[in-house]
Amino acid sequence: MTTAVVPGRRRAPRVTHKRAIAVFVAPFATLFTLFYLVPIGYAVYQSTLVVEREGTFGPPTQVFGGLAQYAQVMQSSAFWDSVLRVLLFGIVQVPVMLGLALLFALLLDSPLVRGRRFFRLAFFVPYAVPGVIAAIMWGFLYSPNLSPFRPVTQSVDLLSADLVLWAIANVVTWVFVGYNMLIIYSSLLAIPAEVYEAARLDGASQVRIAWSIKIPLVMPAIILTAIFSIIGTLQLLAEPQVFRTFSSAVTSTFTPNLLVYSTASVPNVPLAAAFSVVLALATFVLSFTFLKVTQRKAFQ
Amino acid sequence: MRTTTRAAGVALLALTAVTACSSGSGDTGAAASGAAAACEPAGEPVTLTFTSWIPGIEDVVALWNEDNPDIQVEVQTGPNGNGGTYQNFFNQLEAGNAPDLGQVEYDALPNFRVQDGLVDLSACDDVVAAQDEFVDWTWQQVQLGEDDAVYAIPQDAGPMALFYRADLFEQYGIEVPTTWEEFATAAEQVRATGGYITNFSQADVNQFAGLVWQAGGSWFGNDGDQWTVDLTSEESEKVAAYWDDLIERDLVSTYPGWTTEWDNAYNTGEVWTWNSAVWGANSIMTGAPDTAGAWRVAPSPQWEDGGESAGNWGGSTTVVFQGTEHVYEAAQFALWLNTSEEALTALIEAANLYPATTEGAALPALAEGVEFYGGQPIYDVFAEASTQVSPDFVWGPTMTQVYNDVSDGFSTAISGDQTLPEALAEAEESTVAALEAQAIPVAS
């Protein structure tokens, strides 16, 4: 943008740069188009189809059906139930997880803590465990008969219909606290030392520094992790899918993505595509709204 | 010349087990069968692809490849049908690159048929001639209600019987139940000892369907013009109410099937019986190794005293998928795999399959006593059951959806928020909606 000051001189070199830019961008652009834009376009296209056939075993033909599938989505109580379920999940789990992540990050950053490198690694290690493996491991820990903590799991059935959502929330929290902590922590490290020095000269305690200086300054990082978490919550799939092998309370429509998966295996591909598109839009709207609301406060 | 003699040799080989065969040569009758695909030999060496999940299938196919250099079969293996392979098949059919042959269970055949995925093999004379070799109801299942059509070659059957812990029944002096009424009484007695008489797995909806099948019900009907959905028939409601009562009174456990937890319940003797299919014999051996020698098999409990009725759970077929260029060769292989003594013996040994042919079910490999079952010749019980399976049970065209919806409903019922009959009524509604969404005509 700033180059526009001397237009005549700059134009010639920019043409040759264009090729270089194209070369550098091409690998990304190709993959982005092939594996992101095209599939999304295809899903949108499929969501506009309806199936037609004649007779009980007539061969199916797919024809354009406008918004017929979206009408189905709007009427699907299973879909909206699953969306409400993950929203409830998110409202409870995301603040808990980010609260813990922030607390751990602040502790690591505080000059009072020893063994900083050890704790940083220890908190982060669960994230290195693949989500599916983590879910299997926790599934066994929760199990009434196979758990090493049987006295607990037999008196409180963590896999029952009432509690299984929160059992899953615990798994997700366990996996992602360290990851979010690391993002917040690296943001804390970027705060210039002079700010702290000034605060100390003014007589601020460590708690006061954390509350009045650190947290406001890392707010952008917290918002970033919150948006990642909101997206992740709406896309929950692996953990509930694994928990289906431990608990009879996890249905095939437990989360929106599970519903998409089981609809696609009917196979009712157009409806599954419509579910996906609506879910993507909902995720976008939710993240964007969150960003708008928080940005106003955080970045002023 | 050489290829024709080879083809003839192949045909002969596939027909070794055929006794009532009139003629194996010539396929000129293809046009007469209407929609049926032409069934002509390619006249040149071909390679077929075959996707299956049967353990040890590679070794069985290797036997065929050795003897048939001109029809080579490449096997791909995957998870069991509802575990992912069906989904792959549907995707491959949509993409136009399905394998030539595939493993498909009886209950999924209408689903593939309705997606136009199956080749009608009735133009292949050898296939039509093989009908008499198969147990009646298995052949009925692959015709999908059309008199002249053959959409798959039956492979194995899953007649159901009662696996039970003979030692525990004896130790506590409880009679092994022969009717469902006695079963409920025994359930109370077993519960009093601290165990459960059996486990109700909400995800094994096809097992539940087998129980409805035994009671004389059928979930679907197809008169050629439209489908009927009847998950709430009198028989179906009777079976649902029966199990609902047992669950309500905490007389049966409710672990999800096929999980470590479930294995553990059997292995520790917490659960005493399993009303399951013949292939379940293998599942107990691998899932509950500590109980070796303690199990026996008896006929399933009956609804009426002295009744003779059996249900069926599972069993699969070999299908030829749309898009294949070698219907004839694929049919030859499918026939060999499912009728020849060589292949069936190998399948029995590798995977404990229970053949769908009458001769296969009488093979020596199935006549012996089984050590795990205290030396009892358990297959005799299943042979008896196999003759008692009603041929009238019809599967619907969207079973994946039906299983999901019934299972979800059952799961709510197990949590105590509704009853099993209510779950069936809900699933019936959603099934009608699912059929309408696929533009499948359905009577509502």
In a domain, A153, yes or no: yes
Query: Does the pLDDT value for residue A144 go beyond 90?
Result: no
- Which residues of A lie closer than 8 Å to B, measured between beta carbons? 50-53, 55-57, 59-60, 72, 140, 143-146, 160-161, 244-253, 262, 264-269, 271
Q: Tell me: do A219 and A247 sit in the same domain.
A: yes
In a domain, B233, yes or no: yes
Q: Tell me: do B346 and B208 sit in the same domain.
A: no
For residue B397, cis peptide bond before it (omega within 30 degrees of 0): no
| Contact assignment for B202 to A248 by CB distance below 8 Å | yes
A139-143, A163-167, B17-21, B33-37, range with the lowest pLDDT: B17-21
CATH code, domain carrying A232: 1.10.3720.10
Instruction: Return the sign of the alpha-carbon dihedral for residues B348, B352, B355, B359.
Output: positive
What was the pLDDT predicted at B304?
A: 94
Of B261, B415, B440, nearest to A56 by CB-CB distance is B440
Q: Return the residue of A nearest to B396 by Cα.
A: A56
In a domain, A1, yes or no: no
In a domain, B81, yes or no: yes
SS (H, E, C) chain A: CHHHHCHHHHHHHHHHHHHHHHHHHHHHHHHHHHHHHHHHHHHHHHCCEEEECCCCCCCCEEEECCCHHHHHHHHCHHHHHHHHHHHHHHHHHHHHHHHHHHHHHHHHHCCCCCCHHHHHHHHHHHHHCCHHHHHHHHHHHHCCCCCCCHHHHHHCCCCCCCCHHHHHHHHHHHHHHHHHHHHHHHHHHCCCHHHHHHHHHCCCCHHHHHHHHHHHHHHHHHHHHHHHHHHHHHCCCHHHHHHCCCCCCCCCCCCHHHHHHHHHCCCCHHHHHHHHHHHHHHHHHHHHHHHHHHHHHHCC
Question: To the nearest whole angstrom, how far is the Cα of A57 from the nearest Cα of chain B?
Answer: 5
Averaged pLDDT score across all residues of chain A: 90
Domain closes at, from A66, A93, A125: A66
| Contact assignment for A51 to B439 by CB distance below 8 Å | yes
| Contact assignment for A53 to B415 by CB distance below 8 Å | no
Q: Tell me: do B328 and B307 sit in the same domain.
A: no
Structure tokens at B354: 């229970």
Contacts 24+ apart (CB under 8 A), B265-268: B265/A145, B265/B196, B265/B199, B266/B199, B266/B291, B267/B291
Calculate mean pLDDT across residues A286-293: 90
| Contact assignment for A161 to B440 by CB distance below 8 Å | no
Rg of chain B, C-alpha, whole Å: 22
Of B86, B222, B439, nearest to A52 by CB-CB distance is B439
Q: Tell me: do B319 and B293 sit in the same domain.
A: no
DSSP string, B18-63: -SS-------GGGGGGTTSPP----SS-EEEEEEE--TTHHHHHHH
Dihedrals φ, ψ of B160, to 5°?
-105, 145
Q: Tell me: do B274 and B400 sit in the same domain.
A: yes
Q: Tell me: do B182 and B147 sit in the same domain.
A: no
**Cβ–Cβ under 8 Å, residues A37 and B423:** no
**Cβ–Cβ under 8 Å, residues B156 and B282:** no
Q: Tell me: do B194 and B90 sit in the same domain.
A: no
pLDDT tier for residue B252 given thresholds of 50, 70 and 90: very high
| Contact assignment for A55 to B224 by CB distance below 8 Å | yes
Q: Tell me: do B345 and B330 sit in the same domain.
A: yes
Q: Tell me: do B292 and B322 sit in the same domain.
A: no
Size of interface A-B (CB pairs under 8 A): 105
**Cβ–Cβ under 8 Å, residues A131 and A176:** no
Q: What proportions of chain B, in percent to the nearest 5, are helix, strand and coil?
A: 50, 15, 35
What was the pLDDT predicted at A295?
A: 77
In a domain, A167, yes or no: yes
| Contact assignment for A245 to B398 by CB distance below 8 Å | no
Structure tokens at B78: 């995957």
DSSP string, B282-313: HHHHHH-GGGTT-EEEEEPPBSSTT---B-B-
Could you give the number of structural domains in chain B? 2
| Contact assignment for B260 to A262 by CB distance below 8 Å | no
Of A51, A160, A161, nearest to B438 by CB-CB distance is A51
The residue behind tokens 């093999």 is: B121
Query: Does the pLDDT value for residue B433 go beyond 50?
Result: yes
Q: Tell me: do A86 and A55 sit in the same domain.
A: no
**Cβ–Cβ under 8 Å, residues A78 and A253:** yes
Taking contacts as CB-CB distances below 8 angstroms, the residues of chain A near B259 are 245-246
What was the pLDDT predicted at A146?
A: 87
Taking contacts as CB-CB distances below 8 angstroms, the residues of chain B near A72 are 437
In a domain, B207, yes or no: yes
Q: Tell me: do A44 and A177 sit in the same domain.
A: no
Taking contacts as CB-CB distances below 8 angstroms, the residues of chain A near B407 are 251-252
Of B261, B415, B437, nearest to A268 by CB-CB distance is B437
Taking the C-alpha atoms of residue B410 and residue B413, their distance in angstroms, rounded to an integer, is: 5
Domain closes at, from A66, A98, A122: A66
B65-69, B196-200, B265-269, B440-444, range with the lowest pLDDT: B440-444
CATH code, domain carrying B335: 3.40.190.10
**Cβ–Cβ under 8 Å, residues B156 and B142:** no
Q: Tell me: do B422 and B307 sit in the same domain.
A: yes
What was the pLDDT predicted at A299?
A: 55
pLDDT tier for residue B35 given thresholds of 50, 70 and 90: low
Among B93, B107, B404, B418, the strongest candidate for a mutation testing the A interface, having the largest count of A CBs within 10 A, is B404
Calculate mean pLDDT across residues A22-37: 94
Taking contacts as CB-CB distances below 8 angstroms, the residues of chain B near A249 are 411, 414-415
Top pLDDT among B224 and B244 is at B244
What was the pLDDT predicted at B7?
A: 46
Helix, strand or coil for residue B266?
helix
Q: Tell me: do A171 and A278 sit in the same domain.
A: yes
The 8-class DSSP code of residue B130 comes to G
Taking the C-alpha atoms of residue A228 and residue A220, their distance in angstroms, rounded to an integer, is: 12
Q: Tell me: do A163 and A211 sit in the same domain.
A: yes
Question: To the nearest whole angstrom, how far is the Cα of B413 from the nearest Cα of chain A?
Answer: 10
In a domain, A4, yes or no: no
Of A60, A244, A249, nearest to B415 by CB-CB distance is A249
Q: Return the residue of B nearest to A157 by Cα.
A: B415
Q: Return the residue of B nearest to A76 by Cα.
A: B430
Of B224, B226, B414, nearest to A248 by CB-CB distance is B414
Q: Tell me: do A53 and A172 sit in the same domain.
A: no
Dihedrals φ, ψ of B217, to 5°?
-90, 170
Question: To the nearest whole angstrom, how far is the Cα of B146 from the nearest Cα of chain A?
Answer: 10
Structure tokens at A171: 């798994």
Taking the C-alpha atoms of residue B339 and residue B18, their distance in angstroms, rounded to an integer, is: 8
pLDDT tier for residue A116 given thresholds of 50, 70 and 90: confident
Taking contacts as CB-CB distances below 8 angstroms, the residues of chain B near A250 are 411
Query: Does the pLDDT value for residue B25 go beyond 80?
Result: no
**Cβ–Cβ under 8 Å, residues B313 and B207:** yes
Q: Tell me: do A43 and A142 sit in the same domain.
A: no
Q: Tell me: do A269 and A163 sit in the same domain.
A: yes
Could you give the number of structural domains in chain A? 2
Of A145, A246, A251, nearest to B411 by CB-CB distance is A251
What was the pLDDT predicted at B368?
A: 87
Calculate mean pLDDT across residues B277-297: 94
**Cβ–Cβ under 8 Å, residues B272 and B196:** yes
Taking contacts as CB-CB distances below 8 angstroms, the residues of chain A near B260 are 140, 143, 146
Residue B143's closest CA among B159, B127, B157? B127
Query: Does the pLDDT value for residue B265 go beyond 50?
Result: yes
pLDDT tier for residue A79 given thresholds of 50, 70 and 90: very high
In a domain, A280, yes or no: yes
Residues contacting B414, CB < 8 A, separation 6+: A248, A249, B200, B202, B247, B254
Residue B348's closest CA among B357, B129, B388? B357
| Contact assignment for A267 to B87 by CB distance below 8 Å | yes
Please give the model's pTM, rounded to 2 decimal places.
0.86
Helix, strand or coil for residue B192?
helix
In a domain, B380, yes or no: no
Domain of residue A33, residue span: 20-66
In a domain, B261, yes or no: yes
Q: Tell me: do A102 and A143 sit in the same domain.
A: yes
Q: Tell me: do B53 and B106 sit in the same domain.
A: yes
Q: What does the pLDDT look like over A40-76, one tens digit per residue?
A: 999 999 999 999 988 888 888 889 999 999 999 999 9
Q: Please state, in angstroms and as integers, the Cα–Cα distance from residue A21 to each residue in A7, A17, A29, A30, B415, following that order.
A: 19, 6, 11, 14, 60
Q: How high is the ipTM of this complex?
A: 0.83
Calculate mean pLDDT across residues A121-143: 94
Calculate mean pLDDT across residues B125-149: 93
Percentage of residues in chain B with pLDDT exceeding 90? 77
Query: Does the pLDDT value for residue B284 go beyond 90?
Result: yes
Structure tokens at B8: 């003839």
Q: Tell me: do B187 and B152 sit in the same domain.
A: no
pLDDT tier for residue A300 given thresholds of 50, 70 and 90: low
Query: Does the pLDDT value for residue A19 go beyond 80?
Result: yes
In a domain, B214, yes or no: yes
Question: To the nearest whole angstrom, how far is the Cα of A181 from the nearest Cα of chain B?
Answer: 34
Q: Tell me: do A54 and A30 sit in the same domain.
A: yes
What was the pLDDT predicted at A110?
A: 87
What was the pLDDT predicted at B82?
A: 84
| Contact assignment for A60 to B259 by CB distance below 8 Å | no
In the β-sheet with B442-443, what is the strand arrangement from edge to edge?
B220-222, B227-229, B442-443
In a domain, A71, yes or no: no
Query: Does the pLDDT value for residue B3 go beyond 60?
Result: no
Query: Does the pLDDT value for residue B356 go beyond 50?
Result: yes
Q: Tell me: do A92 and A224 sit in the same domain.
A: yes
Q: What does the pLDDT look like over B12-23, one tens digit per residue?
A: 444 333 333 333
Domain of residue B353, residue span: 10-157+314-362
pLDDT tier for residue A170 given thresholds of 50, 70 and 90: very high
Q: Tell me: do A163 and A261 sit in the same domain.
A: yes
CB burial class (10 A; 0-12, 13-18, 19+) of residue A174? middle
| Contact assignment for B404 to A252 by CB distance below 8 Å | yes
Of A55, A143, A262, nearest to B261 by CB-CB distance is A143
Among A47, A51, A56, A258, the strongest candidate for a mutation testing the B interface, having the largest count of B CBs within 10 A, is A56
**Cβ–Cβ under 8 Å, residues B353 and B196:** no
| Contact assignment for A265 to B202 by CB distance below 8 Å | no
Q: Tell me: do B241 and B325 sit in the same domain.
A: no
